[in-house]
Structures are given as C-alpha cells and as structure tokens.
Amino acid sequence: MSDRKPFSHLDEAGTARMVDVSEKPVTRRVAEASCRVRLTADTVARLSTLPKGDAIAVARLAGIQGAKATSTLVPLAHPLPLDQVEVEVAPDAQGVVIRSRVVVTARTGAEMEALAACAAAALALYDMVKAVERGAVITDLRLESKSGGRSGAWGRGEDEAGTPQAAGDAIGEPTAVDAAAPAGPRA
C-alpha cells in the first residue's frame, strides 16, 4: 500500500468530481501566489506609456477579475465569497513580478484564486506589451503560501534567491528574515 494521499478530485473509479466541502468548517483562509513576465529593459521602461495605455494598472485590475472568475475558469473549483484580493505588479531587472494575496472566509481554500489572479494579470500584461515585444515570456506561476483550513499553514520556504521566507506575509511587508538581510531589492 502507498502512503500517498489520494487525489481529492477523483472518486474511487478515477472519475473527476467536485469535492463535497459541506462538512468542513468555515475558516479564514489566505493564499499568496506569484509569477513573472520576462521583458526587455526597453519594454519595462515603457509600461506606463504603451499604445494601449498603462500596462501595470490594467494587469492589476485583470488579476483581481481573474481571482473573481476562478470557478468559471477552473472546472472543479468552488465559487468562493472573496473577502479581499490584492495584486501587485512590480517591474524588476528581468521584467515584471506579479504577486497576489487572496483572503476568504469559507469551507475551502483560496489557492486557486491566488494563482488565477497572477495568471490573469500576466496574460493582460502580455496583451498590453505584445505590440512592442512579442517575445515576452510568462513564467514561474506558483503558490507561495497558504493558511487556514484543516491542513493549516504552508509556505514555499524560500524565495528564488534561496532566502528563507515566512509563510503568510502580506504583499510587500518585510519579514523577520528581511529585517536581518542586507538592504536591496526584494525578489
């Protein structure tokens, strides 16, 4: 026998199904996700003056809308009453970093909503820049942390540079690790 947990979205016959969450308690759940859009420095410098308008503003709003539309985009995701959605779109040396934070009070988590927020923001950003840079690359879509619910808190454990990160930190808020680290841009 395997010690692996079964996939919750498959029944005994292996058929996909929506999980019954009616017996789970309603708890506060927070999920954070991130992704990158790789762009040239020239494109990054033009993000607020592109032919279609301010790419950062459009991407941020698209990310919020993406979180709200998750159950439409992901077939087995439950519709959730979102309490808060934050999306940060920040230029960096390789392009743009997109981070999301979703808060719900519900029977199931907000991980898919946080991921959908980042994906929608990245797609909107690509749409905004494609006239000047068709080679933009959307990459590294990932869950960073989650808290609440039966499984408790989980965090990725380190950022891309290998720096330890605390699970559940709000977007842009320094962690205890940041306070001990040398000053510089946050990954």
> Would you please indicate which residues are annotated as catalytic (active-site) residues?
127
Closest C-alpha to 95, from 137, 48, 140: 137
Distance CA 18, CA 133 (A): 40
Residue 92, CA distances (Å) to 63, 95, 124, 132 in order? 19, 5, 18, 18
Residue 116, CA distances (Å) to 77, 89, 102 in order? 11, 14, 10
Say which residues have a Cβ less than 8 Å from residue 105's Cβ, sequence separation at least 6.
26, 27, 28, 29, 81, 83
- For 48, the token pair is 């607020």
